[in-house]
Amino acid sequence: MPLSEHEQKMLDEMERQLFADDPRLARAFAPKTPPRRNGRRILIGLGAVVLGLALLILAVALPAIWLGVIAFIGMVAGAVYAITGPSGSATDKGSSGPGRGGSGPTVPPTGDGGSFMRKMEERWEKRAGEDPRL
């Protein structure tokens, strides 16, 4: 169910407040770009899968179970290497702050919370029909 215009404005205001209060936390929850596929990495992984398959066929031809297990592990390792991106936080270094666009999950900051969050809580309690002083 889509958000109403008022709810979208409130969500945008909460997001701006989060970036103002704790930009590091906000960046941690901001959507990240998917890792780029490296052609060389895919070729190496594919080569490992093909080599593992050849070893597996050889292991079936010879009664060598241990060679078949090693070949299977090599195939799986090659596939995982080809699919995954390089490890490390090279993509995190290029991330920018609130001007990134897109709306990721907004998490209220820990600790004090500020007057904005207190106001939002009071409004929520009013809508629920509860007395905030209880």
Radius of gyration, alpha carbons of the chain: 26
Nearest to 101 by CA among 39, 4, 19: 19
Average pLDDT of the chain is 76
Examine the pLDDT at 62 and tell me if it is beyond 80.
Answer: yes
Q: Is 80 helix (H, G, I), strand (E, B) or coil?
A: helix
Per-residue pLDDT of 35-60, as tens digits, reads 666 888 889 999 999 999 999 999 99
In angstroms, rounded to a whole number, what is the distance separating the alpha carbons of residues 21 and 57? 60
pLDDT score recorded for residue 123: 84
pLDDT score recorded for residue 27: 75
pLDDT score recorded for residue 122: 84
Q: Report the chain's terminal Cα–Cα distance, integer Å.
A: 33
Considering only residues 107 and 119, tell me which one the structure prediction assigns the higher pLDDT. 119
Considering only residues 91 and 30, tell me which one the structure prediction assigns the higher pLDDT. 30
Q: What is the mean pLDDT of residues 20-38?
A: 73
pLDDT band at 21 (very low <50, low <70, confident <90, very high): confident
- CA contacts within 13 A on the Cβ side of 96: 5
Considering only residues 121 and 45, tell me which one the structure prediction assigns the higher pLDDT. 45
In angstroms, rounded to a whole number, what is the distance separating the alpha carbons of residues 51 and 77? 11
Per-residue pLDDT of 68-92, as tens digits, reads 999 999 999 999 998 887 765 444 4
Q: What is the mean pLDDT of residues 6-10?
A: 86
Examine the pLDDT at 13 and tell me if it is beyond 70.
Answer: yes
Contact at 8 Å (CB) between 65 and 80? no
